[in-house]
Structure 1
């Protein structure tokens, strides 16, 4: 297969197009289902960032609808992953228990819940309460209680600390929930093998794909928003040219 392939479509359609037991790693950042919750809170998010999920409308599914959709995602993920394949999903801390429950229903094996700590979070309402500087990530394996784990005999903690994305990355991606290449590369190197397949069916502006290609993995991604799909294609084409992957 080519080094990367991306689809402008819904997550579930992307997963169904891949086939069974193809991927080393699914590394993804789905909607956290916090839009309606945040709208009912005293917040000034929209004044600070117009495309934030609290006011932009793209994270407003009813909780039961979101649960149904996420269960379908986990079922698809278990089909797509190889035996000993890994799944890393970023998520809000208040949804961790729900995500574990849904993944277990799909027969994925729960490994751990880790923390990504942002050293320079948005200082929203800093004089009113503690600034939100953490997100959760959850690790599951498929068809096995152990998965690919390239730790090079080093202790790896379930805590990862970085700054928010660099200005150069933000300029290329422009996505409101874009993750730093540093943390994506860490998971890719640890939980997949060189020349293996990494999948991100909620790829946004393609950062997971950029990190995968940079670390000599193949990539398949899906993004339903045309704007971000086009950005992803442009970023992946640029990286492919730099690495002579054509």
Structure 2
């Protein structure tokens, strides 16, 4: 990849099929957890407390078999485009971790660990009914190997990361219901890649991965199928980028 940043407004599977084999050093992504139907069936006041409720977004409510098929297709292509010994970090709901590990292993990804991100300022929904939901899981894989890049410089890093949520300045271009803070992604990019490496985010959302990747001197490929999120992410990344090569692929037009 000769360009520093490539952004695609289309289904990531279409993009992955066109990427060169062994061309990516790290896949860092936060795909839909497919919890929309599950959350709507529960007694929760989340919708009242969050205007942009992910359960009503329409992209998080597939039937399980359909979701599983899409994840399987993703890992198949991820194995091809990710370099051998390349890393993959995927955020996911705890209740889906076993399914993800099983699918990833099928496509030659070596499972390293499941870690936890603790949000220090979580939404206090249902605080008088049960425990506040303040954590999310992330899974760490190596492609066709057991070890890869790990720039710890002799320091011990636990599989527990603690940060606040995204700041107001990080949300000024787009309001995404599951947006991750830049500090969180900086943690993974610094540990798992080197300068000029290529980072891929197939589910870019608000563009946090692109902003962080550019800031840290890496190349970036991002995909986002939702036009509104994509425009916000593009504008946000463009503010931090010195060079932007924008490719708009419209699946409906066969491009």
TM-score when normalising by structure 1: 0.96
Deviations 1:10-61 (A, max 9, x none): 0111211221101110000000011011111001111111322222322010
Q: Does 1:204 align with 2:191?
A: no
Report SS of the residue matched to 1:47.
helix
Gaps of 5+ in 2: 246-255
Report SS of the residue matched to 1:43.
coil
- Asked if structure 1 preserves the Cα contact closer than 8 Å seen for 2:173 and 2:235, the reply is no
RMSD (Å), alpha carbons: 1.3
Question: 1:41 and 1:174 mapped to 2: Cα distance?
Answer: 24
Gaps of 5+ in 1: none
Structure 1 residues 105-124: aligned runs within 5 Å: 105-124=106-125
Kindly report structure 1 stretches of 4+ aligned residues shifted beyond 2 Å: none
Report SS of the residue matched to 1:97.
helix
Question: 1:4 and 1:78 mapped to 2: Cα distance?
Answer: 21
Give 2:251's aligned residue: none
- Asked if structure 2 preserves the Cα contact closer than 8 Å seen for 1:173 and 1:206, the reply is no
Give 2:252's aligned residue: none
Give 1:221's aligned residue: 222
Give 2:105's aligned residue: 104
Give 2:133's aligned residue: 132
Give 1:79's aligned residue: 80
- Asked if structure 1 preserves the Cα contact closer than 8 Å seen for 2:12 and 2:223, the reply is yes
- Asked if structure 1 preserves the Cα contact closer than 8 Å seen for 2:118 and 2:162, the reply is yes
Give 2:48's aligned residue: 47
Give 2:190's aligned residue: 189
Give how far 1:174 is off.
1.6
- Asked if structure 1 preserves the Cα contact closer than 8 Å seen for 2:5 and 2:244, the reply is no
Question: 1:167 and 1:235 mapped to 2: Cα distance?
Answer: 13
Deviations 1:80-122 (A, max 9, x none): 1111100000001111111111111111110000000001100
- Asked if structure 1 preserves the Cα contact closer than 8 Å seen for 2:186 and 2:212, the reply is yes
Deviations 1:55-77 (A, max 9, x none): 23220100111011001111111
Q: After the TM superposition, which of the residue ranges 43-52 and 66-75 deviates more from structure 2?
A: 43-52
- Asked if structure 2 preserves the Cα contact closer than 8 Å seen for 1:14 and 1:221, the reply is no
Deviations 1:127-147 (A, max 9, x none): 000000000000001121111
TM-score when normalising by structure 2: 0.93
Question: 2:46 and 2:141 mapped to 1: Cα distance?
Answer: 32
Give 2:250's aligned residue: none
Question: 1:215 and 1:34 mapped to 2: Cα distance?
Answer: 33
Structure 1 residues 159-174: aligned runs within 5 Å: 159-174=160-175
Question: 1:111 and 1:211 mapped to 2: Cα distance?
Answer: 23
- Asked if structure 1 preserves the Cα contact closer than 8 Å seen for 2:10 and 2:223, the reply is yes
How many positions carry a matched residue from both structures?
244
